[in-house]
Amino acid sequence: MSNQNNIKTADSSSNAVRLLITRLHFYVGLFVGPFIFVAALTGVFYIVTPQLESALYKEVLTTQSSGEYKTLTEQIAAAKSNLNEELALFAVRPAPEQGDTTRIMFLDPSAGLSGARALFIDPVTLALKGNLPVYGTSGILPFRTTIDYLHRQLLLGEFGRYYSELAASWLWFTAFGGLFIWIKGGKQGQAKFASRTVFLSKRRRHGQLGLILFIGLLFVSATGLTWSKWAGGNIGEVRKTLGWVTPSVSLSLTSETLPMDEHAEHKHHSSHVNESKTPITNEHLFDQVLAVARAAGIDANKLEIKPPKSADKAWFVREIDRSWPTQVDSVAVDPRNMKVISRSDFASFPVVAKLIRWGIDAHMGILFGVANQILLTVFGLALCLMIIWGYKMWWMRRPAAGQTAKPLLHAWNKLALRGKLVSLIVAILLSACLPVMGVSLIVFLLIDAWRWQQLAK
Protein backbone atom coordinates (compact mmCIF):
# COMPACT_ATOMS: atom_id res chain seq x y z
CA MET A 1 0.00 0.00 0.00
CA SER A 2 2.86 2.31 0.88
CA ASN A 3 4.54 1.61 -2.46
CA GLN A 4 1.34 2.43 -4.30
CA ASN A 5 1.07 5.74 -2.45
CA ASN A 6 4.67 6.55 -3.30
CA ILE A 7 4.03 5.78 -6.97
CA LYS A 8 0.96 7.98 -7.00
CA THR A 9 2.88 10.81 -5.34
CA ALA A 10 5.73 10.49 -7.85
CA ASP A 11 3.28 10.47 -10.77
CA SER A 12 1.47 13.48 -9.36
CA SER A 13 4.75 15.35 -8.91
CA SER A 14 5.90 14.44 -12.43
CA ASN A 15 2.60 15.59 -13.90
CA ALA A 16 2.82 18.87 -11.97
CA VAL A 17 6.34 19.53 -13.30
CA ARG A 18 5.23 18.71 -16.82
CA LEU A 19 2.21 20.98 -16.52
CA LEU A 20 4.35 23.83 -15.15
CA ILE A 21 6.96 23.58 -17.90
CA THR A 22 4.26 23.24 -20.55
CA ARG A 23 2.52 26.40 -19.34
CA LEU A 24 5.79 28.35 -19.10
CA HIS A 25 6.80 27.12 -22.56
CA PHE A 26 3.46 28.42 -23.81
CA TYR A 27 3.93 31.80 -22.09
CA VAL A 28 7.40 32.26 -23.54
CA GLY A 29 6.20 31.29 -26.99
CA LEU A 30 3.22 33.64 -26.79
CA PHE A 31 4.95 36.72 -25.37
CA VAL A 32 8.63 36.32 -26.31
CA GLY A 33 8.02 34.50 -29.59
CA PRO A 34 7.66 37.75 -31.59
CA PHE A 35 11.01 39.00 -30.29
CA ILE A 36 12.72 35.72 -31.16
CA PHE A 37 11.07 35.82 -34.60
CA VAL A 38 12.33 39.35 -35.31
CA ALA A 39 15.82 38.50 -34.03
CA ALA A 40 15.96 35.41 -36.25
CA LEU A 41 14.65 37.20 -39.34
CA THR A 42 16.91 40.25 -39.01
CA GLY A 43 19.80 37.89 -38.27
CA VAL A 44 19.14 36.19 -41.60
CA PHE A 45 19.14 39.60 -43.30
CA TYR A 46 22.56 40.32 -41.79
CA ILE A 47 24.00 36.92 -42.70
CA VAL A 48 23.09 37.14 -46.41
CA THR A 49 24.37 40.69 -46.99
CA PRO A 50 28.19 40.34 -47.39
CA GLN A 51 28.01 39.53 -51.11
CA LEU A 52 25.32 42.15 -51.63
CA GLU A 53 27.44 44.77 -49.90
CA SER A 54 30.45 43.83 -52.02
CA ALA A 55 28.33 44.36 -55.12
CA LEU A 56 26.83 47.64 -53.89
CA TYR A 57 30.24 49.12 -53.08
CA LYS A 58 32.30 47.43 -55.78
CA GLU A 59 33.59 50.72 -57.18
CA VAL A 60 34.81 51.71 -53.71
CA LEU A 61 36.33 48.39 -52.65
CA THR A 62 38.16 47.51 -55.84
CA THR A 63 40.35 49.08 -58.50
CA GLN A 64 41.41 48.12 -61.99
CA SER A 65 44.92 49.47 -61.48
CA SER A 66 47.87 47.11 -61.45
CA GLY A 67 51.47 47.72 -60.59
CA GLU A 68 53.68 48.49 -57.63
CA TYR A 69 51.98 49.83 -54.52
CA LYS A 70 52.86 53.26 -53.26
CA THR A 71 54.05 53.47 -49.66
CA LEU A 72 51.50 53.73 -46.86
CA THR A 73 52.89 57.17 -46.09
CA GLU A 74 52.00 58.32 -49.61
CA GLN A 75 48.58 56.69 -49.44
CA ILE A 76 47.81 58.41 -46.13
CA ALA A 77 48.89 61.75 -47.57
CA ALA A 78 46.57 61.17 -50.55
CA ALA A 79 43.67 60.42 -48.21
CA LYS A 80 44.27 63.50 -46.09
CA SER A 81 44.38 65.69 -49.19
CA ASN A 82 40.79 64.63 -49.88
CA LEU A 83 39.42 65.57 -46.46
CA ASN A 84 37.28 68.67 -46.12
CA GLU A 85 38.28 69.04 -42.47
CA GLU A 86 41.04 67.80 -40.24
CA LEU A 87 40.22 64.42 -38.73
CA ALA A 88 42.28 62.19 -36.45
CA LEU A 89 43.81 59.21 -38.25
CA PHE A 90 43.39 56.12 -36.07
CA ALA A 91 44.01 53.09 -38.31
CA VAL A 92 45.17 51.93 -41.72
CA ARG A 93 44.21 48.70 -43.46
CA PRO A 94 46.56 48.04 -46.40
CA ALA A 95 45.02 46.62 -49.57
CA PRO A 96 44.80 42.84 -48.95
CA GLU A 97 45.31 41.80 -52.56
CA GLN A 98 45.99 43.24 -56.00
CA GLY A 99 42.82 44.98 -57.12
CA ASP A 100 41.72 45.98 -53.61
CA THR A 101 41.79 49.47 -52.13
CA THR A 102 43.53 50.61 -48.97
CA ARG A 103 41.40 51.92 -46.10
CA ILE A 104 42.68 55.02 -44.37
CA MET A 105 40.42 55.37 -41.33
CA PHE A 106 39.65 58.52 -39.35
CA LEU A 107 37.64 59.30 -36.25
CA ASP A 108 34.57 61.25 -37.31
CA PRO A 109 31.62 61.93 -34.96
CA SER A 110 29.52 62.90 -37.98
CA ALA A 111 29.85 59.41 -39.47
CA GLY A 112 26.58 58.23 -37.96
CA LEU A 113 26.35 54.93 -36.09
CA SER A 114 30.00 53.99 -36.54
CA GLY A 115 31.82 57.16 -35.53
CA ALA A 116 34.54 56.31 -38.03
CA ARG A 117 35.15 57.14 -41.67
CA ALA A 118 37.35 55.42 -44.23
CA LEU A 119 38.84 56.93 -47.34
CA PHE A 120 39.44 54.19 -49.89
CA ILE A 121 42.65 54.81 -51.80
CA ASP A 122 43.91 53.10 -54.92
CA PRO A 123 47.34 51.86 -53.70
CA VAL A 124 48.81 52.11 -57.20
CA THR A 125 47.53 55.47 -58.49
CA LEU A 126 46.65 57.11 -55.11
CA ALA A 127 43.23 58.00 -56.52
CA LEU A 128 40.34 58.37 -54.09
CA LYS A 129 37.84 55.57 -54.74
CA GLY A 130 35.35 56.34 -51.98
CA ASN A 131 34.60 58.03 -48.67
CA LEU A 132 32.26 56.06 -46.41
CA PRO A 133 31.48 55.43 -42.73
CA VAL A 134 32.86 52.06 -41.57
CA TYR A 135 32.12 49.98 -38.50
CA GLY A 136 33.71 47.18 -36.50
CA THR A 137 36.58 44.81 -37.02
CA SER A 138 35.36 43.73 -40.45
CA GLY A 139 34.86 47.36 -41.48
CA ILE A 140 31.28 46.85 -42.62
CA LEU A 141 29.87 49.69 -44.67
CA PRO A 142 26.63 51.70 -44.23
CA PHE A 143 24.26 49.10 -45.69
CA ARG A 144 25.38 46.23 -43.43
CA THR A 145 25.82 48.57 -40.47
CA THR A 146 22.14 49.47 -40.69
CA ILE A 147 21.14 45.78 -40.90
CA ASP A 148 23.47 45.04 -37.97
CA TYR A 149 21.81 47.66 -35.76
CA LEU A 150 18.38 46.53 -36.92
CA HIS A 151 19.17 43.00 -35.73
CA ARG A 152 20.69 44.11 -32.46
CA GLN A 153 18.46 46.98 -31.32
CA LEU A 154 15.81 47.62 -34.02
CA LEU A 155 17.44 51.02 -34.63
CA LEU A 156 16.02 52.19 -31.29
CA GLY A 157 19.32 52.96 -29.58
CA GLU A 158 20.33 51.50 -26.22
CA PHE A 159 16.73 50.81 -25.24
CA GLY A 160 16.31 48.58 -28.27
CA ARG A 161 18.99 46.23 -27.00
CA TYR A 162 16.54 44.83 -24.46
CA TYR A 163 14.56 43.18 -27.26
CA SER A 164 17.50 41.03 -28.40
CA GLU A 165 18.57 40.24 -24.85
CA LEU A 166 15.02 39.15 -24.04
CA ALA A 167 15.01 36.84 -27.06
CA ALA A 168 18.42 35.33 -26.27
CA SER A 169 17.60 34.95 -22.55
CA TRP A 170 14.54 32.78 -23.18
CA LEU A 171 15.61 30.94 -26.34
CA TRP A 172 17.64 28.27 -24.52
CA PHE A 173 14.83 27.71 -22.01
CA THR A 174 12.32 27.34 -24.81
CA ALA A 175 14.56 24.70 -26.40
CA PHE A 176 14.94 22.69 -23.19
CA GLY A 177 11.26 23.10 -22.36
CA GLY A 178 10.22 21.84 -25.76
CA LEU A 179 12.59 18.87 -25.45
CA PHE A 180 11.17 18.04 -22.02
CA ILE A 181 7.60 18.20 -23.30
CA TRP A 182 8.46 16.01 -26.31
CA ILE A 183 10.17 13.39 -24.12
CA LYS A 184 7.32 13.29 -21.61
CA GLY A 185 4.42 13.25 -24.01
CA GLY A 186 5.43 13.94 -27.59
CA LYS A 187 5.96 10.36 -28.75
CA GLN A 188 2.76 9.13 -27.17
CA GLY A 189 0.80 11.99 -28.71
CA GLN A 190 2.23 11.32 -32.13
CA ALA A 191 1.55 7.59 -32.03
CA LYS A 192 -2.03 7.98 -30.97
CA PHE A 193 -3.14 11.15 -32.67
CA ALA A 194 -0.72 11.85 -35.52
CA SER A 195 -3.32 11.56 -38.27
CA ARG A 196 -6.45 12.65 -36.42
CA THR A 197 -6.34 16.43 -36.53
CA VAL A 198 -4.56 19.29 -38.19
CA PHE A 199 -3.57 20.54 -34.76
CA LEU A 200 -1.71 17.38 -33.82
CA SER A 201 -0.04 17.37 -37.22
CA LYS A 202 1.26 20.87 -36.61
CA ARG A 203 2.32 19.94 -33.08
CA ARG A 204 4.26 17.00 -34.45
CA ARG A 205 6.03 19.15 -37.05
CA HIS A 206 6.68 21.88 -34.47
CA GLY A 207 8.26 19.37 -32.12
CA GLN A 208 10.29 17.58 -34.78
CA LEU A 209 11.67 20.83 -36.14
CA GLY A 210 12.54 21.89 -32.60
CA LEU A 211 14.52 18.66 -32.13
CA ILE A 212 16.42 19.28 -35.37
CA LEU A 213 17.23 22.85 -34.34
CA PHE A 214 17.91 22.07 -30.67
CA ILE A 215 21.72 22.39 -30.69
CA GLY A 216 21.52 25.49 -32.88
CA LEU A 217 19.03 27.11 -30.51
CA LEU A 218 21.40 26.62 -27.56
CA PHE A 219 24.38 27.86 -29.59
CA VAL A 220 22.67 31.02 -30.86
CA SER A 221 21.24 31.77 -27.41
CA ALA A 222 24.60 31.37 -25.65
CA THR A 223 26.64 33.37 -28.17
CA GLY A 224 23.92 36.01 -28.46
CA LEU A 225 23.89 36.53 -24.69
CA THR A 226 27.59 37.43 -24.75
CA TRP A 227 26.65 40.61 -26.68
CA SER A 228 23.85 41.60 -24.31
CA LYS A 229 24.12 44.43 -21.83
CA TRP A 230 23.20 42.79 -18.54
CA ALA A 231 23.71 39.09 -19.10
CA GLY A 232 26.78 39.82 -21.22
CA GLY A 233 28.33 41.78 -18.36
CA ASN A 234 27.75 38.87 -15.99
CA ILE A 235 29.22 36.44 -18.49
CA GLY A 236 32.29 38.68 -18.77
CA GLU A 237 32.79 38.62 -15.01
CA VAL A 238 32.49 34.82 -14.93
CA ARG A 239 35.06 34.54 -17.69
CA LYS A 240 37.47 36.72 -15.75
CA THR A 241 36.96 34.64 -12.62
CA LEU A 242 37.55 31.36 -14.47
CA GLY A 243 40.49 32.73 -16.45
CA TRP A 244 38.71 32.44 -19.80
CA VAL A 245 39.71 35.92 -20.95
CA THR A 246 41.15 36.07 -24.46
CA PRO A 247 44.93 36.74 -24.41
CA SER A 248 45.98 40.18 -25.58
CA VAL A 249 49.07 42.27 -26.19
CA SER A 250 50.42 44.96 -23.92
CA LEU A 251 50.50 48.35 -25.65
CA SER A 252 52.09 50.12 -22.74
CA LEU A 253 55.78 50.88 -22.90
CA THR A 254 55.63 50.06 -19.17
CA SER A 255 53.18 47.27 -18.27
CA GLU A 256 49.53 48.03 -19.12
CA THR A 257 47.62 45.49 -21.22
CA LEU A 258 45.09 46.22 -23.93
CA PRO A 259 42.00 44.03 -23.47
CA MET A 260 40.93 42.10 -26.53
CA ASP A 261 37.28 42.41 -27.49
CA GLU A 262 35.80 39.50 -29.44
CA HIS A 263 32.67 41.53 -30.18
CA ALA A 264 34.29 44.57 -31.72
CA GLU A 265 32.72 43.80 -35.09
CA HIS A 266 29.16 43.42 -33.86
CA LYS A 267 28.84 45.20 -30.55
CA HIS A 268 26.38 47.61 -28.97
CA HIS A 269 28.69 50.56 -29.47
CA SER A 270 31.52 51.43 -31.75
CA SER A 271 35.03 51.06 -30.44
CA HIS A 272 35.95 53.92 -32.75
CA VAL A 273 33.61 56.39 -31.09
CA ASN A 274 35.03 55.59 -27.69
CA GLU A 275 38.68 56.21 -28.51
CA SER A 276 39.67 58.09 -25.37
CA LYS A 277 42.64 59.88 -26.85
CA THR A 278 43.58 61.22 -30.26
CA PRO A 279 46.13 58.85 -31.79
CA ILE A 280 49.65 60.15 -32.32
CA THR A 281 50.11 59.72 -36.05
CA ASN A 282 53.73 59.72 -37.14
CA GLU A 283 52.73 58.89 -40.68
CA HIS A 284 56.22 58.06 -41.84
CA LEU A 285 56.34 55.16 -39.35
CA PHE A 286 53.47 53.15 -40.82
CA ASP A 287 55.66 51.43 -43.40
CA GLN A 288 58.37 50.65 -40.85
CA VAL A 289 55.89 49.29 -38.31
CA LEU A 290 54.30 47.11 -41.00
CA ALA A 291 57.68 45.74 -42.01
CA VAL A 292 58.52 44.89 -38.39
CA ALA A 293 55.15 43.17 -37.92
CA ARG A 294 55.60 41.15 -41.10
CA ALA A 295 59.04 40.05 -39.96
CA ALA A 296 57.49 39.01 -36.63
CA GLY A 297 55.04 36.64 -38.33
CA ILE A 298 51.98 38.81 -38.96
CA ASP A 299 51.40 37.25 -42.36
CA ALA A 300 47.65 37.54 -43.01
CA ASN A 301 46.56 39.55 -46.03
CA LYS A 302 43.94 41.35 -43.94
CA LEU A 303 45.47 43.39 -41.16
CA GLU A 304 45.14 46.71 -39.37
CA ILE A 305 47.77 49.13 -38.12
CA LYS A 306 46.95 51.50 -35.27
CA PRO A 307 49.23 54.32 -34.10
CA PRO A 308 49.57 54.86 -30.33
CA LYS A 309 47.07 56.99 -28.41
CA SER A 310 49.83 58.60 -26.35
CA ALA A 311 53.61 58.84 -26.19
CA ASP A 312 53.86 56.01 -23.65
CA LYS A 313 52.01 53.52 -25.87
CA ALA A 314 53.19 51.18 -28.60
CA TRP A 315 51.93 50.75 -32.13
CA PHE A 316 49.38 47.96 -32.58
CA VAL A 317 49.27 45.63 -35.59
CA ARG A 318 46.67 42.88 -35.76
CA GLU A 319 45.38 40.33 -38.22
CA ILE A 320 41.64 40.65 -38.85
CA ASP A 321 40.82 37.57 -40.93
CA ARG A 322 38.28 35.59 -38.91
CA SER A 323 37.43 33.03 -41.54
CA TRP A 324 38.92 29.55 -41.51
CA PRO A 325 41.77 29.18 -40.71
CA THR A 326 41.45 31.98 -38.18
CA GLN A 327 44.16 34.62 -38.38
CA VAL A 328 43.95 37.02 -35.44
CA ASP A 329 47.56 37.27 -34.24
CA SER A 330 48.69 40.67 -33.01
CA VAL A 331 51.88 42.46 -31.97
CA ALA A 332 52.87 45.67 -30.23
CA VAL A 333 55.79 47.60 -31.74
CA ASP A 334 57.92 50.07 -29.79
CA PRO A 335 58.40 53.12 -32.09
CA ARG A 336 61.63 54.11 -30.34
CA ASN A 337 63.60 51.09 -31.52
CA MET A 338 61.17 49.32 -33.87
CA LYS A 339 61.09 46.14 -31.83
CA VAL A 340 58.16 43.90 -30.97
CA ILE A 341 57.58 44.21 -27.21
CA SER A 342 54.45 42.07 -26.89
CA ARG A 343 52.53 39.59 -28.98
CA SER A 344 49.41 37.45 -28.91
CA ASP A 345 49.23 34.41 -31.17
CA PHE A 346 45.98 32.56 -31.79
CA ALA A 347 47.83 29.24 -31.88
CA SER A 348 48.76 29.70 -28.21
CA PHE A 349 45.27 30.70 -27.04
CA PRO A 350 43.72 28.41 -24.42
CA VAL A 351 41.13 26.03 -25.84
CA VAL A 352 38.25 27.94 -24.23
CA ALA A 353 39.41 31.23 -25.75
CA LYS A 354 39.60 29.61 -29.18
CA LEU A 355 36.11 28.16 -28.80
CA ILE A 356 34.75 31.57 -27.81
CA ARG A 357 36.42 33.17 -30.82
CA TRP A 358 35.08 30.51 -33.19
CA GLY A 359 31.63 30.58 -31.61
CA ILE A 360 31.24 34.34 -32.07
CA ASP A 361 32.50 34.21 -35.65
CA ALA A 362 30.21 31.27 -36.47
CA HIS A 363 27.25 33.21 -35.00
CA MET A 364 28.05 36.04 -37.41
CA GLY A 365 28.42 33.78 -40.45
CA ILE A 366 32.14 34.55 -40.85
CA LEU A 367 33.98 31.40 -39.79
CA PHE A 368 33.31 29.08 -42.72
CA GLY A 369 32.33 31.62 -45.33
CA VAL A 370 29.42 30.78 -47.63
CA ALA A 371 28.80 27.40 -45.94
CA ASN A 372 28.39 29.22 -42.61
CA GLN A 373 26.01 31.72 -44.24
CA ILE A 374 23.86 28.99 -45.77
CA LEU A 375 23.63 27.04 -42.51
CA LEU A 376 22.62 30.09 -40.47
CA THR A 377 20.14 31.25 -43.10
CA VAL A 378 18.40 27.86 -43.12
CA PHE A 379 18.46 27.79 -39.32
CA GLY A 380 17.01 31.30 -38.99
CA LEU A 381 14.21 30.68 -41.48
CA ALA A 382 13.40 27.32 -39.87
CA LEU A 383 13.18 29.01 -36.47
CA CYS A 384 10.77 31.58 -37.90
CA LEU A 385 8.67 28.75 -39.37
CA MET A 386 8.62 26.91 -36.04
CA ILE A 387 7.36 30.05 -34.29
CA ILE A 388 4.63 30.50 -36.91
CA TRP A 389 3.52 26.88 -36.38
CA GLY A 390 3.49 27.54 -32.64
CA TYR A 391 1.13 30.48 -33.08
CA LYS A 392 -1.09 28.46 -35.37
CA MET A 393 -1.31 25.77 -32.71
CA TRP A 394 -2.26 28.36 -30.11
CA TRP A 395 -4.90 29.87 -32.39
CA MET A 396 -6.46 26.50 -33.06
CA ARG A 397 -6.59 25.59 -29.37
CA ARG A 398 -7.31 29.04 -27.96
CA PRO A 399 -10.03 29.12 -25.24
CA ALA A 400 -13.56 29.76 -26.44
CA ALA A 401 -15.19 33.10 -25.69
CA GLY A 402 -15.77 33.49 -21.98
CA GLN A 403 -13.30 30.73 -21.07
CA THR A 404 -9.79 31.05 -19.66
CA ALA A 405 -6.96 28.54 -19.87
CA LYS A 406 -5.47 27.29 -16.61
CA PRO A 407 -2.88 29.83 -15.41
CA LEU A 408 0.80 29.20 -14.78
CA LEU A 409 0.48 29.74 -11.02
CA HIS A 410 -2.22 27.08 -10.93
CA ALA A 411 0.31 24.61 -12.33
CA TRP A 412 3.01 25.77 -9.89
CA ASN A 413 0.59 25.35 -6.99
CA LYS A 414 0.30 21.65 -7.80
CA LEU A 415 4.00 21.08 -7.10
CA ALA A 416 5.08 19.45 -3.88
CA LEU A 417 6.76 21.70 -1.31
CA ARG A 418 10.23 20.56 -2.40
CA GLY A 419 9.35 21.28 -6.03
CA LYS A 420 8.16 24.76 -5.15
CA LEU A 421 11.36 25.55 -3.25
CA VAL A 422 13.58 24.21 -6.03
CA SER A 423 11.69 26.17 -8.68
CA LEU A 424 11.95 29.38 -6.63
CA ILE A 425 15.70 28.94 -6.11
CA VAL A 426 16.26 28.24 -9.82
CA ALA A 427 14.16 31.27 -10.78
CA ILE A 428 16.11 33.54 -8.41
CA LEU A 429 19.49 32.29 -9.65
CA LEU A 430 18.51 32.67 -13.31
CA SER A 431 17.12 36.14 -12.65
CA ALA A 432 20.40 37.18 -11.04
CA CYS A 433 22.42 35.87 -14.00
CA LEU A 434 19.96 36.95 -16.69
CA PRO A 435 18.25 40.10 -15.37
CA VAL A 436 16.07 40.70 -18.44
CA MET A 437 14.80 37.15 -18.13
CA GLY A 438 14.04 37.78 -14.46
CA VAL A 439 12.11 40.99 -15.11
CA SER A 440 10.09 39.37 -17.90
CA LEU A 441 9.30 36.41 -15.62
CA ILE A 442 7.87 38.83 -13.06
CA VAL A 443 5.72 40.33 -15.82
CA PHE A 444 4.52 36.86 -16.78
CA LEU A 445 3.58 36.13 -13.18
CA LEU A 446 1.73 39.42 -12.77
CA ILE A 447 -0.29 38.71 -15.91
CA ASP A 448 -0.86 35.17 -14.70
CA ALA A 449 -1.99 36.30 -11.25
CA TRP A 450 -4.53 38.60 -12.88
CA ARG A 451 -5.77 35.75 -15.07
CA TRP A 452 -6.08 33.45 -12.06
CA GLN A 453 -8.08 36.11 -10.27
CA GLN A 454 -10.37 36.43 -13.27
CA LEU A 455 -10.78 32.67 -13.36
CA ALA A 456 -11.77 32.62 -9.68
CA LYS A 457 -14.60 35.08 -10.21
> Per-residue pLDDT tens for 239-298?
988 888 889 999 999 855 555 666 655 554 444 444 546 676 678 899 999 999 999 999
Instruction: Tell whether the model's pLDDT for residue 399 goes beyond 80.
Output: no
> b/e per residue, 377-400, with b = 16+ CB within 10 A?
bebbebbbbbbebbeebeeeeeee
Does pLDDT of 115 surpass 90? Answer: no
Of the pLDDT bands very low, low, confident and very high (cuts 50, 70, 90), residue 13 is low
**Distance between alpha carbon 214 and the CA centroid of its chain, in Å?**
18
Q: Which residue has the higher pLDDT, 228 or 192?
A: 228
What does the alpha-carbon distance between residue 33 and residue 240 come to, in Å, rounded to a whole number?
33
Interval 403-412: pLDDT, tens: 566 788 888 9
The per-residue pLDDT for range 299-333, each reduced to its tens digit, is: 999 999 999 989 999 999 999 999 999 999 999 99
Cis preceding linkage at 133, omega within 30:
no
Report pLDDT digits (tens) over 124-178.
Answer: 999 999 999 999 888 899 999 999 999 999 999 999 999 999 999 999 999 999 9
Report the mean per-residue pLDDT for the chain.
Answer: 88
Confidence at residue 389, expressed as pLDDT on a 0 to 100 scale = 92
Residue 56 to residue 96: CA distance in whole angstroms:
19
